[in-house]
Amino acid sequence: MSHLVSRRQWLSLAGAAMLLARDARNAGEARADDARPMRLVLLMQANGVSQQRFWPDASGSSPILDPILSDPRLKARTTVVKGLFNHSGGAGNQHDQGFAGLWTGRPSTGTFFDSWGAGPSIDQQIARSTMLDVPFPTLNCGVTASSTPLFKEHRTSFAYLAERQPIPTETDPVRLFGRIFAPGETPALAQRRINEARSVLDFASKDLARMRANLGKDERDKLDVHATAIRDYERRVALLAARPRAGVCVAPARPLAGIDLHAEKSVPVLMDTMLDLVALAISCDLVRIVTFPIGGAGLTWRFDWLGIGENSHDNLAHKDDGSNAHVTDQLTKIGRWHAEHVARLALALDALPAGQGRTVLDDTLIVWANELATGPHGLDDIPVVLLGGAAGRLRPGGLVDVGPQTHHRLGCTVLQLMGAPSAGFGEAATCGPLRGLTLA
C-alpha cells in the first residue's frame, strides 16, 4: 500500500501524530502561560443583523445569541462588542467595503463592478510577523454553496495575500480533509482509501502504540481523543462522499464530488462538516488561524431549511428598518442559525483537552463578525462576538459598548492578542486597540 499514505508522511503531517510528537517532546514539562499557543478563527457573516434582536438585554439574553449565551461555559467566555463602525469607504458598495475591508483595515480598491481588498488580511499579517510552527499556519475555508451566482465572483473570500490577491476559499470538505490529514494522497487515492474504509490512523498504528507507551496519562488521553475524532470525521466524510448528486445521476466531474457543492440545499451539511473539520485541525495543532466565510458577501440564500424560502438579501435584509415584524422574525431565525454554528464550533473545541486542565477553547479566540451592521447597508454598530479563552490574554466582559470606535481598533486588538504587536491596523497605523476591553 505504499502508493497511499506512508507512515512517515502521516507521522510528520497528520493531526494526531503531529500533536503527539509535540507532547512527547514536552512531556512532564509545564508550559508558562505566556507560551500557550493562541488559535484564531474569524467567521464572516453577510447582510447585517436585526439590531433590535441581536444585542443582549439587561438580563444577558438575546433571541439571536441565546444558543451561545444560554450555555454557562460559553457565556463565561463571551464578549459581545457594540459600537464599532466602518467609515473607510472604498470601491463597490458597502458589502464590498465591509467584506474586503474589515480584516484588511483598508478601503476596498478598484471600481464598483470590480472591487477588491487593498492589502493583506490580518491572518496573513499575523503569519508573517510571528513564528507559527505548524503545517498550516493559516487556513481559508468556508461554505459558499449558492443556487444563484454571486453578484461578484470574488466575494467568496475575505482573506488576502496582498492587494487584489484573494486567497481561494476551500469549500469541499472531502478535498480539505485529504489536504490536511493525508497530504501525500491524490484526490483519487483519497477517495479509494475512504471507499475501502481505511483510516490514516491505520498506517501509523504501530508507531502510535509505541509512542503511546512512553507518554503520561494526560498525553495518552489527548492522543485517544484526537485519534477518535479523526476516525469519526473520516466516517462522516465517507458518508458525505457517498451521497448521490442532486438531479440526474451522472459520473461526477471530480472524483470526490459526493455532494453538490454549488447547491444551496447542501449548506446545512456542509456547515456542520466544515466546522467540525476546522475544530479537529485546530485541536491537532495543524492550524493556528482560520478564516471562514459563511456564504460570501451579499449572499442571497433562501434558508429553506429554516422554513424561510425567500431571498434573504433582497426581500429581507434590504427591508430591515425595524418596522416590519415579518422581516425581523425571519432575520432573527437567520441570525440564530449563525449563532448555533458558532456555538457548535466552540463546544467542539471545548470538548477537546489541551493539558493542565484546559481545553482547546481556552487557547482559542473565535471572532464572529459581519460585513455590515444592518441589511440596508448600514456600517454603524457592526455586530462582533468574541468567544473563547484567548490563552488568558482577554478578560471576557459580556456586552461591552465601546462605541463609537473604528473597526481598525478591533484589528489592532486581534494583532496584539495573537502576539503580533502593532500600534494600529491597516490604514489606521496608530489607532491603538479597542478601548473598553481588558487585555492581559
* pTM of the predicted model over 0.75: yes
What CATH number does the domain located at 40-173+262-439 have? 3.40.720.10
Tell me if 106 sits within 8 A of 388, measured CB to CB.
no
Of the candidates 405, 372, 428, 411, which has an alpha carbon nearest to the alpha carbon of residue 96? 372
φ/ψ (deg, to 5) at 387: -140, 130
pLDDT value for 182: 66
pLDDT value for 223: 76
pLDDT value for 240: 47
Sequential DSSP letters for 287-326: EEEEEEEBS-TT-----GGGT--S-IIIIIGGG-SS--HH
Instruction: Tell me the pLDDT of the chain (440 aa) as tens digits.
Output: 222 333 333 333 334 333 333 333 333 333 334 467 899 999 999 999 999 999 999 999 999 999 999 999 999 999 999 999 999 999 999 999 999 999 999 999 999 999 999 999 999 999 999 877 788 899 999 999 988 777 777 799 999 999 999 999 999 988 888 778 766 656 566 666 666 656 666 666 666 777 778 888 777 777 777 677 676 666 555 654 554 433 332 322 332 446 788 899 999 999 998 998 898 888 888 889 999 999 999 999 999 999 999 999 999 999 999 899 999 999 999 999 999 999 999 999 998 888 788 999 999 999 999 999 999 999 999 999 999 999 999 998 899 999 999 999 999 999 999 999 899 999 999 999 999 998 87
Tell me if 291 sits within 8 A of 313, measured CB to CB.
no
Of the candidates 94, 260, 101, 103, which has an alpha carbon nearest to the alpha carbon of residue 174? 260
CB atoms within 10 A of CB 145: 21
- Grid cell at residue 173: 470538505
Q: Where are the domains of the chain?
A: 40-173+262-439
Q: Which amino acid is at 409?
A: R
| CB proximity list for 383: less than 8 A, separation 6 or greater | 48, 49, 54, 55, 80, 82, 369, 370, 373
pLDDT value for 203: 63
Enumerate the β-bridge partners of residue 165: 162
pLDDT value for 280: 85
